[in-house]
Chain A
């Protein structure tokens, strides 16, 4: 499970666009931010990757890619 806190308006929008769902809302939290979760799987990441441009041609990555 992947968790995230929506600390800014832009952050909230980004998380929703990635299909994160609210686990606990800002009204019930001490930090007054929405808390999100996304059940991420290998197939979900692959789906996201298919929508994103491959930047490996211009980026040097300092660690190994997942297999």
Chain B
């Protein structure tokens, strides 16, 4: 449990720093383009380090180039994302080191780098983490490359300093928001639902999830439905906005007559009959509860781990 919490905290902090780096990359595109390139490179490095730690192990002192190469080699990064990452790395290196050509980096020069960063961020949040883009950088990511370029050109033609048109959308994250848990940054309020009692469809989906883990040992849905008719409150499902069941747990208030044989091992769970389950009214003062199961989709992913933490939390507050 501590491990889950620690992982959540670490990722939360990493996302907070990443958001801050992206905001700075955008903010300094006009004021100090070389700083913008360095911040974009830092953001790319942060993403690669997080993915590397999650998928492969400790990255040690690997440089960004090696991180991209190894993640690509392990097929963790799709080729279409390796390309913009390499672009960011090249631009970042250019902005960080002395160049003999005396070319002055300006705001137009950084546009390809920021466009590449947007592609990487979109993939990272929507595909890799399977979550929403943090509100603070939504505007930055959703502004298209063409419109960003046009906005800079328009400003330049007007003879003013180059500034992002929607600067208010990219304001530097407050210190508080950097310490928010990841889901406060990436999920809207109440975007998930913990449902109890559940309807037939949700119960069926939860039962199907169990079959994935237990195979032939899973309780047949027909029997489970009999249990649920006796006490509709046994099942709690974690539901996504599109009604997908992300996970569940079920708890049974059992009668002593079954429990004694169950504890001794003479009876198994599949021999539980509806009459051995207390109804909601009967179970108010029950002190004997059986935790039937807890399961989440994709348990080895960040999202699966988060959903497991949500279910454990919910179990403790009911």
Contact = CB atoms under 8 A, between A and B. Distances in A.
Interface of A: 1-5, 7-8, 10-11, 14, 17-18, 23-24, 28-31, 35, 37, 45, 48-49, 51-55, 57-63, 65-66
Contact of A60 (B193, B214, B288): B193
Contact of B318 (A2, A23, A60, A66): A66
Nearest to A18: B1
Contacts, number: 111
A66 B318 CA distance: 6
Nearest to B193: A60
Contacts of B183: 55, 57-58
Interface string B248-286: 000000100001001111111110000000000000000
Contacts of A60: 190, 192-194
| Interface bin, chain B | 35 or more
B1 A48 contact: yes
B176 interface: no
A55 B214 CA distance: 28
B316 A58 contact: no
Contacts of A7: 214, 217, 293
A59 B194 contact: yes
Nearest to B194: A61
Select the residue from A18, A49, A52, A62 with max chain B CB neighbours within 10 A.
A52
B27 to A, nearest CB: 28
Interface in B65-108: none
A37 B299 CA distance: 24
Interface string B289-304: 1110110000100000
Interface of B: 1-2, 5, 8, 181, 183-184, 187-196, 213-214, 217, 238, 254, 259, 262-270, 287-291, 293-294, 299, 309-310, 312-314, 316-318
A43 to B, nearest CB: 12
Nearest to A52: B313
Contact of A8 (B5, B181, B190, B213): B213
Contacts of A58: 183-184, 187-192
A3 B195 CA distance: 22
B287 A5 contact: no
A56 to B, nearest CB: 8
Contact of A62 (B5, B194, B270): B194
A37 B293 CA distance: 14
Contacts of A4: 290-291
A28 B318 CA distance: 33
Contacts of B254: 3
Nearest to B188: A58
Greatest chain B CB density within 10 A among A4, A5, A28, A59 is at: A59
Given A18-B1, A49-B316, A55-B309, A29 B265 contact: yes
Contact of A57 (B184, B214, B263): B184
B12 to A, nearest CB: 9
A58 to B, nearest CB: 5
B193 A59 contact: yes
Given A8-B214, A61-B314, A30 B265 contact: yes
Nearest to A4: B291
Given A28-B265, A48-B1, A58-B188, 11 more contacts: A1-B287, A3-B290, A4-B290, A45-B317, A52-B312, A55-B314, A57-B184, A57-B190, A58-B192, A59-B194, A66-B318
A54 B310 CA distance: 8
